[in-house]
Amino acid sequence: MYKLLISTYTILSFNLKISLDENGSFINASTNVAGAANVLNGATFSVNGTVLSGVNPALNANLSSQLDAIQKMQASLQDISNDVIAGQTQIGDARRVVNDGVNGVAATNNQIINKQKIDPSILAGQFGTGVQTANDTIGLFNSNIAAGLNTTNIMKTANDLVTAFNQTTGRNTNSLMDRISAFQSSIAQVTPTQAELQNPAYIQASNDLSNSLKALNDPNTGAIANLKSTIENNQVNAQKYNAELQKVGNNLSNLRNFGWSDPNNIRNLSQVVSALKSTILDGIKTDSSGKTQNDITITGDPTKLAPLSPTKFDPNSSTTTVDPKTSIDNIATAVAEVKAAIDKVGQDAQKLAITRAIISASTSASQASLNAAAQDAARRKNSTPTILPTAKAGLIAFFGKHQSVSVEYQYYFRNTNPSFTSGEVTLNYAYYFGGK
């Protein structure tokens, strides 16, 4: 009996050409992508140091230009800030002097009202304080005041206050606006690529910068517009303070026409300096008739005792102009808001530049990977083995149960490649494990 022996072979096959080509491309691409990731990581790391030159020199130069513009904006802002600080210092001095300086006059006024007996020299001393301050303000007095008099310089400090306002209001935001325009021009110098416009990170970074610029420079709601408005309001307020201080100076000038030890003159003086104190500490108040607390009538015959001022002002009248401290503090707040807005613009400009550098590096790496894959495919294509139709014939002889010898002949049709033979003879030996 003959048995049909069927040998079963388990074959693991690879299509080297295709598989190796595809695997080769992806290996290269993967290697290139890993290399691109390293570049991106380097760019991300350089955010802290603002070092882009190694990634994208053009973007690095553009960012440097933007940061330079921001520094100039900050310098302009600092000029305004310095004036504000000077004004705040002098206003603080004025508040302290006027708060303390009227105490003596007010105390003497209360003593007069309560009909207490007061030494004429004390009355003269209190009046001398007012005369001295008038001299410091309007220059009507020289050095005619006795050295022993208490000469608290209420009006001198008030006059310094006006000077502080004039210094503050003399600064404007024009140079700051010019430098913001220069910054915006530097941003527009680099046109975004198509890859950037389609990248979510670029879109987000670009929107962030746009929003921070709007917060800084919007003509209606931006921090610069608010600062400009606040400075203009302070300029208007300063003019009003000047007018009120002029009233005080005029009142003190009228008071000096009467006797220094005249009790009524001291009472009128107390009214004048109290109104000044109210103006400096609380702002300008206006009553229903349009009069302010400093509209005080001082008249009478200089050869006689001074009559009491008939002026009656309601201290509960509405404040129509904020006090000097509030006015200048508003500028300080607006300056701080502009500084924060400028800092935010700088951060977002840097972030956008970094994002563009990352996208640029990523795009370059991806293109390099594609180029490498294409070159590898072309190289493998040129080295692909020639496939020819063949015919094969052979004999096999078995020895026992476990061995065989075979001879095969293979012929290649249409072979025109000189590196190939037209036929091959193969001798094979096989040993079979297992079986019975």
Q: In this predicted model, what pLDDT tens digit does every residue of 275-307 receive, in sequence order? A: 888 888 899 999 999 999 999 999 888 878 888
Q: Does one domain contain both 196 and 335? A: yes
Q: What is the dihedral of CA 103, 108, 114, 116, to 10 degrees?
A: 140
CA–CA distance, 252 with 140 (Å, rounded to integer)? 10
Is 16 a member of any domain? Answer: no
Q: Does one domain contain both 170 and 102? A: yes
Query: What secondary structure does DSSP assign to 246-312, as a single string?
Result: HHHHHHHHHHTTS-TT-HHHHHHHHHHHHHHHHHHHH-EEE-TTS-BTT-------TTSPPPPP---
Note the pLDDT of residue 216: 82
Q: Does one domain contain both 339 and 408? A: no
For residues 158 and 276, the answer to whether their CB atoms sit within 8 Å is yes
For residues 380 and 24, the answer to whether their CB atoms sit within 8 Å is yes
Q: How far is CA 429 from CA 8, 405, 435, in A?
A: 18, 5, 18
Q: Which of 22-31, 87-96, 219-228, 290-299 has the lowest mean pLDDT?
A: 22-31
For residues 309 and 275, the answer to whether their CB atoms sit within 8 Å is no
Q: Does one domain contain both 106 and 162? A: yes
Is 406 a member of any domain? Answer: yes
Q: Does one domain contain both 175 and 297? A: yes
Domain boundaries, position 407: 390-431
Q: Does one domain contain both 331 and 409? A: no
Give 216: exposed, middle or buried? Use CB within 10 Å, 0-12, 13-18, 19+. Answer: buried
Q: What is the pTM of this model?
A: 0.59
Q: Does one domain contain both 199 and 273? A: yes
The count of structural domains within the chain is: 2
CA–CA distance, 178 with 224 (Å, rounded to integer)? 12
Q: In this predicted model, what pLDDT tens digit does every residue of 129-142 receive, in sequence order? A: 755 654 443 332 22
CA–CA distance, 266 with 269 (Å, rounded to integer)? 5
CA–CA distance, 232 with 237 (Å, rounded to integer)? 9
Mean pLDDT for all residues in the chain: 66
Note the pLDDT of residue 290: 94
Q: Which residues are paired to 284 by β-bridges?
A: 321
Q: Does one domain contain both 416 and 303? A: no
Q: Does one domain contain both 306 and 404? A: no
Is 374 a member of any domain? Answer: no
Q: In this predicted model, what pLDDT tens digit does every residue of 57-74 receive, in sequence order? A: 555 565 566 666 666 666
Q: Does one domain contain both 159 and 101? A: yes
Last residue of one domain, picked from the residues 319, 340, 360: 360
* pLDDT mean over 106-121: 84
